[in-house]
Amino acid sequence: MRQYALRRLAYVPLIVAVVSVLTFFTLRLPFATDPVLQYTNQNTTQEQEDAIRAELGLDKPVLQQFAIWIGDVLQGNLGETFRSGQPVWPEIQRRWPVNFEILLLSVGFSTVFGVAFGVITAVKQNSPTDYGFRIFAVFGQSIPDFFLLILLIVLPSIWWNYSPPVGGHVPFFKDPYDNLRLYLPPTLLLGVGGAAGMMRLTRSTLLEVFRQDYMRTARAKGLSGRQVVVAHGLRNSLIPIVTLLGGHVTALFFGSLILEQVFSINGLGQFFLVSASTSDFPVVQFLVLYSAVAIMTMNLLIDLSYAVIDPRVKYR
């Protein structure tokens, strides 16, 4: 497994290089939006436009711009944003904890509730409990996230004259109460769709495992119901569940944009959206690379987890 991981990691620099080249030159295609237009109007003279282009570093040939950018990145300089003129890296550092907490809480809720409800429905197949959770799963996957998040703001204000906190970011270790009051309700709702999908997959894979001969053997040996379900059933159902979990994490990586928009939170999703809409090249270039590395890392961890879950899985 170690050699497999090293081989996969050896491809990372090549993929990062390809992604960086494609991103850089795609943003500068002739039909792409010119970022200079964001800072000009009908009264702007040609001299003023040329000065803005020179200030943004866009007056040089594209290959020269690429060489300068690569040189700066290799030295740890990610450039400055076009909109504010601030260095990109401090802006990323300021917003990253927001997305990490949203991702952690949403994925945590999806996994805990999805797997727990999936086990319950599989054990109580075709019971009223099973039908109730399955109806919840259908609604959970059908209702858009933004609708649930809007209801979270509207309904408490109508029923209890209470408005959930919006905007800003309070670090957890600075004020745990205010932090969780801001993030806990919306991330719980953001995890509803993922929990519904996780529950349906857990139920179907567990029911398939329950039909296997070794499960009947485990029951015949006198093992308790919990041991049979958890130690034998659930463990042998984990590979598809982990695969779905990896996809859910990837989707939420920038999918938290909806939550950020509704609750006016400045995270990476909103930062990327604004930067892309204003053609803020330095920010977009870095965030695309950041996303590529994060997704490759997640896929590698998922692949390696298969061997941990099932010792029969071998990597060559």
Q: Contact, 251 vs 79, CB < 8 A?
A: no
Residues 59, 169, single domain; the answer is: no
Q: Which two tokens stand for residue 109?
A: 């809720």
Q: For residue 33, what is the DSSP state? A: P
| Number of domains into which the chain is organized | 2
pLDDT tens per residue across span 198-225? 888 888 888 888 777 777 777 777 767 6
**Do 142 and 39 have their domain in common?**
no
In whole angstroms, give the CA distance from residue 79 to residue 74: 11
Residue 269 falls inside a structural domain: yes
State the pLDDT at residue 255: 59
Both 123 and 269 in a single domain? yes
Write the CATH number for 234: 1.10.3720.10
pLDDT tens track for 10-22: 878 888 888 888 8
Spatial distance between the Cα atoms of 185 and 75, rounded to a whole number of angstroms: 41
Q: Is 127 domain-assigned?
A: yes
Structural domain for 23, as ranges: 2-74
What pLDDT, on a 0 to 100 scale, did the predictor assign at position 314?
A: 67
User: Do 136 and 37 fall into the same domain?
Assistant: no
pTM: 0.80
Tell whether the model's pLDDT for residue 315 goes beyond 70: no
Calpha distance 59→254 (Å, rounded) = 32
Can you tell me the mean pLDDT for 257-269? 79
Q: Are 19 and 288 in contact (CB under 8 A)?
A: yes
Packed helices 281-309 and 88-123: angle between N→C axes, nearest 10 degrees: 30
What distance in Å separates the CA atoms of residue 121 and residue 313, rounded to the nearest whole number? 29
CA distances 149 to 13, 186, 190, 196, 232, Å, are 39, 6, 8, 17, 38
